[in-house]
Amino acid sequence: MVHKNAVLNADPSPAQMTKISIIGAGGHAKVAIDVAVAANGSDAIEGVYDEDAKMCGRTFCGHVVQPARGIPPNALAFAAVGDNGARKGVVDRRPHLVWATLAHPSAVVAKSAQIGPGALICAGCVVQPGAVVAAHCVLNTKSSLDHDSTLADFVHLGPGCTVCGHVKVGEGAFVGAGSVVKDRVHVEAWCVVGCGAAVVEDVGAGSVVAGVPARLLRPRV
C-alpha cells in the first residue's frame, strides 16, 4: 500500500528540496547520496548517520558519520540500507521522521505512476504509467517496472531487473539483478528471486526461487 504522504509523480515535493539526513554508511548509501546530489545539488545532504557505533567518526562521502540517535525530530531523512529487513527496522524505529523520496534525473517516471515516501529510483530506471512504488522501495540501476504493476513496501529490484505489466510484488521481496518477472505474476511477501531468473509463475510468500524458468529452491530462513 502507498502511504498517505506518497509522492504521486516524479516531481519532488517542496519539503524534499531541503537537506536530507542519510541513515547508513555503506555501499547503498553511496548510491543514495549520489542520487540526492544529482537531483538536488551538491548541498543536498545535511549529514550521514549510522546505528553502528563502529562507523561513527569516520569520513564517508565527505561527511563525518554521526550516531543515528542524533538525527533531529521531524528531520527529512532517507534510510540508505540495501537489505530490506534491515531498512524496515531503521524506518520502524523512527516514526517521527519525514522520509524523502529520491529519483535520479536520468530515471524516467511516468506522471501517472505513484512513488511512495522513502523510495529510491536509481540511474537509468523506468517506471511506466499506472505503476505503484510503495514506501521505502529500491529500484536499483537500470531496473524497470512496467505499466499497472505494484511494489509493496520495502521491495528491492536489483540492477537490470525487468518487471512486466500487471505484476504484484509483496512487501520486502527481493528481485535479483538481471531477472525478469512475467506479466500478471504475483511475487508474494519476503521472497527472494535469484539473479538472472525468469519468473513465469506466482511465487509463494517467503520462497527462494532461481533459474530459467524460476523454480523453488527452499523456504527463506
Is 147 annotated as catalytic? yes
Max Cα–Cα distance, the chain, nearest Å: 48
Compute the CA torsion angle 50, 53, 55, 59 (nearest 10 deg): 90
Residues whose CB falls within 8 Å of the CB of residue 163, separated by 6 or more in sequence, listed in order: 143, 144, 145, 146, 149, 151, 157, 169, 175, 180, 181
**Distance between CA atoms of 13 and 98, rounded to whole angstroms?**
12
Hey, which residues does 45 pair with through a beta bridge? 20
Phi, psi of 56 (to 5 degrees): -70, 140
Query: Cell triple for residue 154?
Result: 520495502
Name the active-site residue from 3, 96, 136, 147: 147
In this structure, the number of other CB atoms found within 10 A of the CB of residue 85 comes to 12
Which residues form the catalytic set? 147
